[in-house]
Structure 1
Amino acid sequence: MKPEFRYFEKPALEPVPGCSWADKMVLNPAIIKDPDSGEIHMLFRATGPWPQKRRAGCHEPYPIFLGYAKSCDGGATWDADFSKPALAPALGYEEHELYVTDINGNEVRNYANGCVEDPRIFYIEGELYVTVACRAFPPGPYWLGSQEPPVQTRFEYVPGWIFEGDASDHFIAAARSNATVTVLYKLDLEELKQKNYESAFKYVGPLTEGHVSDNRDVFLFPAKMRIAGKMQYLMLHRPMNVLPFEGGAEINKPSIFLAAAESIEDFASPRAVHRLLAYPVFDWEENRVGASWPPVSLGNKEWLVSYHAKKNVQFGYTQSFMIIKEQENNFPVVIHRCSERLMYAEREWELPQDYPTPCLFTTGGIVMGEDLIMSYGAADQKVGIARVNFEELLAYIRQFDESGNLTGQ
Structure 2
Amino acid sequence: MTKPNIRYSPEPVIEPKEGCDWADTMVLNPAMVKDKETDTIHMLFRATGPWPQKNLKGLSDPYPIFLGYAKSDDNGQSWEADFSRPALAPALEYDMDKIYVIDDEEKKVPNYANGCIEDPRIFEVEGELYLTTACRMFPPGAYWEGDKRKDNRPDWAEDKFNPFGTAATNNDTETVLFKLDLDKLKEKDYDKAFQYICTLTDGNVTDNRDVFLFPNKMKIDGKMQYVMLHRPDEPNVFKCGKGVHKPSIFIAAAENIKDFITEKATHKLFAVGIFDWEEERVGASWQPISLGNGEWLISYHGKQLPDYGYTQSFMIIKEQENDFPKIIHRCSERLMYAQQEWELPDKFPCPCIFTTGGVIIGEDLIMSYGAADQKIGIAWTSFEKLVVFVRKFDENGIKICE
Deviation at 1:56, TM superposition (A): 4.3
Equivalent residues of 1:242, 1:248 under 8 A apart = yes
Q: 1:164 aligns with which of 154, 159, 164?
A: 159
Query: What stretches of structure 1 of length at least 5 have no aligned partner?
Result: 146-151
Amino acid at match of 2:23: A
Partner of 2:271: 278
- 1:362 is aligned with what amino acid? T
Q: Which residue of 2 aligns with 1:364?
A: 357
In structure 2, C-alpha distance between the alignment counterparts of 1:11 and 1:299, rounded to whole Å: 34
Aligned to 2:132: 131
Q: What percentage of aligned pairs have identical amino acids?
A: 62
- Offset at residue 246 of structure 1 (A): 3.6
Partner SS state of residue 343, structure 1: coil
Aligned residues: 401
Q: Does 1:352 pair with 2:345?
A: yes
Report the AA paired with residue 177 of structure 2.
L
Query: Residue 149 of structure 1 corresponds to which residue in structure 2?
Result: none
Structure 1 residue 377 displacement after superposition: 0.3
Tell me the amino acid that sits aligned with residue 160 of structure 1.
D
CA offsets per residue over residues 191-242 of structure 1, 9 Å max, x none? 0000000000000010001011100000000111000000100000000010
| Partner SS, residue 260 of structure 2 | helix
Specify the code of the residue in structure 1 equivalent to 2:33. I
Q: Runs of 5+ in structure 2 lacking a partner?
A: none
Aligned to 1:173: 166
* 1: CA distance, partners of 2:239 / 2:224: 21
Kindly indicate whether the alpha-carbon contact (under 8 Å) linking 2:200 and 2:261 is maintained by their aligned counterparts in 1.
Answer: yes
Q: Which residue matches 1:57?
A: 58
Q: Match of 1:192?
A: 185
1:296 and 1:305 in contact (8 A); partners too: yes
After TM superposition, the structure 1 stretch with the greater mean CA deviation from structure 2, 328-337 or 172-181, is: 172-181
**CA deviation after TM superposition for structure 1 residue 111, in Å:** 0.2
The question of 1:222 aligning with 2:226 is answered no
Q: Is the 8 A contact 1:314 1:356 kept in 2?
A: no
Q: 2:32: which partner in 1?
A: 31
**Residue aligning to 1:250:** 243
Offset of residue 165 of structure 1: 4.9
Q: Is the 8 A contact 2:234 2:244 kept in 1?
A: no
For 2:359, what is the secondary structure of its paired residue?
Answer: strand
Deviation at 1:314, TM superposition (A): 3.8
- Alpha carbons 1:246, 1:276 under 8 Å: kept: no
Map of 1:81 onto structure 2? 82
The Cα of 1:249 is off from its aligned counterpart by 2.4
Give how far 1:57 is off.
2.2
2:342 aligned counterpart, secondary structure: helix
- Deviation of the 1:313 alpha carbon: 3.5
Runs of 4+ in 1 over 6 A off after TM superposition: none
Q: Deviations over 1:103-137 (max 9, x none)?
A: 11111000000000000000011000000000000
- Per the TM alignment, residue 55 of structure 1 is displaced from its structure 2 partner at its CA by 2.5
CA RMSD of aligned residues (A): 1.0
> By how many angstroms is 1:164 displaced?
2.2
Task: For 1:196 and 1:7, locate their aligned partners in 2 and report how far apart those are by CA, in whole Å.
Answer: 32
Normalised TM-score (structure 1)? 0.97
TM-score by length of 2: 0.98
**How far 1:173 moved relative to its partner?**
1.7
SS state of the match for residue 111, structure 1? coil
Instruction: Kindly indicate whether the alpha-carbon contact (under 8 Å) linking 2:313 and 2:333 is maintained by their aligned counterparts in 1.
Output: yes
Per-residue deviation at 1:243?
0.6
Which residue is 1:290 aligned to?
A: 283
Q: Offset of 1:172 from its aligned partner? A: 2.3
Moved more, 191-200 or 311-320: 311-320
Task: Work out which of the residue numbers 366, 376, 383 in structure 2 matches 1:383.
Answer: 376
Deviation of 1:59 after TM superposition, in Å, equals 1.1
Q: Which amino acid in the other structure matches residue 195 of structure 2?
A: K
- Show CA shifts across 1:358-403 (max 9, x none): 0000000111111100000000000000011011000000000001
**Cα distance in 2 between the residues matched to 1:380 and 1:93:** 27
